[in-house]
Amino acid sequence: MSEERTLNFLEQIVEEDIANGVNGGRVHTRFPPEPNGYLHIGHAKSICLNFGLAQKYNGKTNLRFDDTNPVTEDTEYVDSIKADIQWLGFEWAQELYASDYFEQIYNFAVQLIKNGLAYVDDSTPEEIAISKGTPTEPGKGTPYRNRSIEENLDLFARMRKGEFKDGEKVLRAKVDLASPNMHMRDPIIYRIKHAHHHRTGDSWCIYPMYDFAHGQSDSIENITHSVCTLEFIPHRPLYNWFIEQLAIFPSHQYEFARLNLTYTVMSKRKLLQLVNEKYVSGWDDPRMPTISGLRRRGYTAASIRAFCERIGVQKRDNMIDVSLLEFCIREELNKTANRVMAVLDPVKLVITNYPADQVEEMTAENNPEDPNSGTRTLPFSNTLYIEREDFMEEPPKKFFRLGRGLVVRLKNAYIIKGESFEKDADGNITTIYATYFPESKSGGDTTGLNVKGTIHWVSAAHAATAEVRLYDRLFKVEDPGNEEGDFKSYINPDSLQVIKNAYIEPSLLKAKPGDRFQFLRKGYFNVDTDSTADKLVFNRTVTLKDTWAKEAKKG
């Protein structure tokens, strides 16, 4: 973390608390995912924030699974969440589960009943909604509000025993039916749900609601700074009310703006739809904003942390341009990725004056940005593949690549001059013929040759083939979650382009899944886990330049 930037508002709060000796200057945060999906880049912001605060102020961070909703939760999600946090580079103090506190939370509820602060309500959800009144009118309550403590204790115990069906009864806190804050109008704190839980199995058929689990778990763990997103601001009075009434550890809740990214949906519910309805290949599809998707796409943990640091922490909702995320990985890979040559849309080039039986090993710098990256060799012969777009039949004036009579440098090799070409019956160019200048080898004599462009190539006889997957934004519109109708109708139909047979330089045959490269002039790529011994598969992590910014300027 850079030390020069000003403190964000949460760091300011923590520093004040430390200065005032609040909790003895102790800082203990938690990251509380619900294990009902994979983590996404928004969670990364929360992770960097919670773990970052603790790191900065010698504190600790718990990983707490907020697993109070048995129906949607699963151990597959628990495992992926742990793997993603570790991959991001953070270590939790303890791995904890809200479900481990079910007995304690149950006892807290009993305590509220005993103090006349909670009651069992038999009303239907509709009746409960009506009983709460409206924002302009106080609630009237239901007939069950005045049940005796004894009756409430008995009914709540029987709810736990499983004597009632789902929805037959709920436990409500008796707070304030006239409060301007609707969350304070006797919120439901327990519901009946006969469902198997991924950890507690069938031992419970009643489950605490978020508001009666989250703050209580914070308190049980002696969390000092409980950081959540802005939509929980109206829940804060209730968070405090429970802690006061139960006289338990005074954790405090603070809210920050969630991360919203352009061209991205971030809610797990929506991401789950994309997975279940097969719009993507899975949670780790490289187009997904999940941590596992970004990792597979080629993002590094450092680039994601750098992104979170750059966006900072705000108190107001905003929208971050996804190109900032792309900038962060591009910036890192520019420094670290070796340059290689790959031809994605190949056309054959024959150098007519180069001996047909000759092969030269050309020396190529691995990464000009990294003096320690060394060099490699590239076989060169009279038959090469170049990109189809690097040759033009009728080149316009400022075309600095290949055409008849035009000279261009082959990267790390010779300067050549376009001479002629052949076409097939459909009018597609099949072979380009050129001549080379023997003295012009990289570092050699180029007197009299006015070369303005350099193109990449691979030797046809030596190249390997690979599958290359080019990704684009998954959505066509900036804020797909807030458009009219189904967000899935805004999916970009061209978000994945698969090139089955690209030609890659032979040095790449040593590449392993996860390895990252710059394909010269084409972008940054990494080796996908779908690669086999016979065929490598590459993902384009990001283009070399932000092509969308250019599009936007064009209007």
Question: Using CB under 5 A as the criterion, which residues of the chain lie in contact with Mg ion when the complex forms?
Answer: 34
Residue recorded with tokens 């909604």: 129
Query: Is 340 in a helix, a strand, or coil?
Result: strand
**Residue number, 42 or 208, with CB nearest to ligand ATP:** 42
Contact criterion met (CB below 8 Å) for 238 and 184: yes
Question: How many residues are there in the chain?
Answer: 555
What's the min distance (Å) between Cβ of 36 and Mg ion? 8
- Which of ligand ATP, Mg ion, none does residue 183 bind to, with CB < 5 to 8 Å depending on kind? none
List the catalytic residue out of 11, 15, 34, 483: 34
Q: Which residues pair with 207 in a beta bridge?
A: 191
**Residue number, 41 or 511, with CB nearest to ligand ATP:** 41
In angstroms, the CA 280 to CA 217 distance is 36
Tell me the pairing of strands 415-423 and 407-410.
antiparallel
Written as six digits, the tokens of 381 are: 């012969």
- Which of Mg ion, ligand ATP, none does residue 501 bind to, with CB < 5 to 8 Å depending on kind? none
Written as six digits, the tokens of 365 are: 């710098």
In angstroms, the CA 213 to CA 207 distance is 9
Could you confirm whether 4 is annotated as catalytic?
no
Which residues of this chain interact with ligand ATP, rule CB under 6 A? 32-34, 42-43, 45-46, 66, 228-229, 258-259, 266-268
- Which of ligand ATP, Mg ion, none does residue 268 bind to, with CB < 5 to 8 Å depending on kind? ligand ATP
Could you confirm whether 258 is annotated as catalytic?
yes
What's the min distance (Å) between Cβ of 221 and ligand ATP? 14
What's the min distance (Å) between Cβ of 8 and ligand ATP? 14
Could you confirm whether 268 is annotated as catalytic?
yes
In angstroms, the CA 113 to CA 174 distance is 9
In angstroms, the CA 438 to CA 358 distance is 13
**Residue number, 259 or 468, with CB nearest to ligand ATP:** 259
List the catalytic residue out of 82, 147, 199, 258: 258
List the catalytic residue out of 64, 160, 174, 268: 268
- Which of ligand ATP, Mg ion, none does residue 305 bind to, with CB < 5 to 8 Å depending on kind? none
What's the min distance (Å) between Cβ of 400 and ligand ATP? 44
Q: Write the DSSP symbol of residue 249.
A: -
**Residue number, 223 or 341, with CB nearest to ligand ATP:** 223
In angstroms, the CA 250 to CA 35 distance is 26
**Residue number, 30 or 160, with CB nearest to ligand ATP:** 30
What's the min distance (Å) between Cβ of 82 and ligand ATP? 13
In angstroms, the CA 195 to CA 172 distance is 21
- Which of Mg ion, ligand ATP, none does residue 43 bind to, with CB < 5 to 8 Å depending on kind? ligand ATP
What's the min distance (Å) between Cβ of 311 and ligand ATP? 10
The stretches of 277-385 forming alpha helices (DSSP H) are 291-297, 301-311, 322-336
What's the min distance (Å) between Cβ of 230 and Mg ion? 13
Tell me the pairing of strands 188-192 and 170-173.
antiparallel
Radius of gyration of the chain, Cα coordinates, nearest whole angstrom: 31
Q: Shortest Cβ contact with ligand ATP: which residue?
A: 42
Q: Minimal CA–CA distance to 495: which of 476, 517, 518? A: 476
In angstroms, the CA 82 to CA 78 distance is 6
In angstroms, the CA 444 to CA 242 distance is 79
Written as six digits, the tokens of 182 are: 């609707």
What's the min distance (Å) between Cβ of 11 and ligand ATP? 17
Burial 319-345 (b: 16+ CB within 10 A, else e): ebebbebbbbbbebbeebbbbbbbbbe
- Which of ligand ATP, Mg ion, none does residue 290 bind to, with CB < 5 to 8 Å depending on kind? none
In angstroms, the CA 255 to CA 225 distance is 10
In angstroms, the CA 410 to CA 169 distance is 77
**Residue number, 73 or 121, with CB nearest to ligand ATP:** 73
**Active centre residues (catalytic):** 34, 258, 268
